[in-house]
Amino acid sequence: MAEDSNTTPHVVAVQALAERVFEDRQVALDWMARPNQALAGATPLSCCATEVGAQQARRILRAIEFGGVA
């Protein structure tokens, strides 16, 4: 993800986890930008505006990583 003034520590952390989980930077970026049903249709990227939203995105990624459901 390109660093800019709108990039928050939450975005950086969630994106790094997504890259680890998906083992592919582009897949992670696509996941961050795609509406997610587990986030009530919001994108993980938009959820990273708050700590609670970032926690929700991380929860989903951990569920994917360990083969569970979010």
DSSP collapsed to 3 states, 37-59:
HHHCCCCHHHHCCCHHHHHHHHH
pLDDT at 69: 61
- Specify whether the CB–CB gap between 63 and 29 falls below 8 A: no
Please state the length of the chain. Answer: 70
Backbone angles phi, psi at 2, to 5 degrees: -70, 135
pLDDT in tens, 29-53: 999 999 999 999 999 999 999 999 9
pLDDT at 5: 47
Question: Which candidate, 49, 1, 48, 50, places its Cα nearest to that of 61?
Answer: 48
Q: Give the single-character DSSP code of 11.
A: H
pLDDT at 7: 77
